[in-house]
């Protein structure tokens, strides 16, 4: 599971609680936290809270100004396995919804699954940093994406191209399913 962090110090307690609850319910996963150049003390706070969480983790630290796209690319590149979860720190999904989204991807032929809900119900729940509107504003991505390995590789290529300011792969080629969940 990849968790990109950019000045998310105030969210860390809730993030770690949710990830520990998910891991306790559904089994082992290594957490890859990627600091994208935070300036608010995110890393010292994370290092203070992680030992208490019981999570197996890796921390990647990028230089100041790297940005979220670079952090996501670094975290997704470092992740192993056939299924990779990208969990944004301001995600508003419950631990059970993480498992539900993973299971939906595994049952499908898609390469990526996005946890979504009715945008009208979640307009005030997320800070909106990365939450993308889907289906012309009727649904909102809740900050949880699950990828098969092929989907991860395409998204990494797209993120790297975006960082470099060049045209990357057409990510519309990634077969994607939207998994309805109830925001927590």
Tens digits of pLDDT across the chain (184 residues)? 999 999 999 999 989 988 888 887 767 788 999 999 999 999 999 999 999 988 889 999 999 889 999 999 999 999 988 889 999 888 777 878 888 899 999 999 999 998 887 654 444 333 333 344 444 445 567 788 899 988 888 888 888 888 888 887 777 778 888 888 876 6
**What is the pTM for the complete model shown?**
0.84
Enumerate the β-bridge partners of residue 114: 145, 178
Sign of the dihedral through C-alpha 19, 40, 79, 125: positive
Place of tokens 């005030």: 124
pLDDT confidence of residue 161: 87
pLDDT confidence of residue 157: 87
Q: Are 154 and 174 spatial neighbours (Cβ–Cβ below 8 Å)?
A: yes
pLDDT confidence of residue 29: 80
Alpha carbon distance 42, 22 (integer Å)? 22
Alpha carbon distance 22, 6 (integer Å)? 22
Name the packing angle between helices 42-53 and 12-26 (round to 10°).
Answer: 30
pLDDT confidence of residue 51: 92
pLDDT confidence of residue 127: 38
Task: Tell the CATH topology of 2-180.
Answer: Spore Coat Polysaccharide Biosynthesis Protein SpsA; Chain A (3.90.550)
């Amino acid at each position: 599971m990849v968790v990109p962090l950019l000045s998310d110090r105030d969210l860390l307690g809730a993030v770690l609680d949710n990830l520990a609850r998910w891991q306790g319910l559904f089994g082992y996963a290594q957490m890859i936290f990627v600091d994208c150049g935070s300036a608010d003390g995110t890393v010292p706070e994370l290092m203070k809270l992680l030992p208490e969480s019981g999570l197996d983790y890796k921390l990647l630290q990028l230089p100041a100004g790297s940005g979220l796209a670079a952090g996501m690319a670094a975290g997704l590149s470092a992740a192993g396995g056939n299924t990779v979860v990208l969990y944004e720190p301001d995600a508003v999904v419950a631990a059970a919804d993480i498992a539900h989204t993973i299971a939906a991807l595994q049952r499908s032929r898609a390469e990526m699954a996005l946890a979504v809900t009715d945008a009208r119900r979640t307009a005030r729940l997320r800070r909106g940093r990365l939450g993308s509107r889907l289906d012309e504003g009727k649904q909102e991505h809740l900050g949880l994406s699950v990828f098969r390995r092929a989907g991860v590789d395409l998204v990494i290529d797209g993120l790297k191209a975006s960082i470099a300011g060049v045209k990357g792969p057409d990510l519309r080629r990634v077969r994607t399913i939207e998994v309805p969940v109830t925001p927590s």
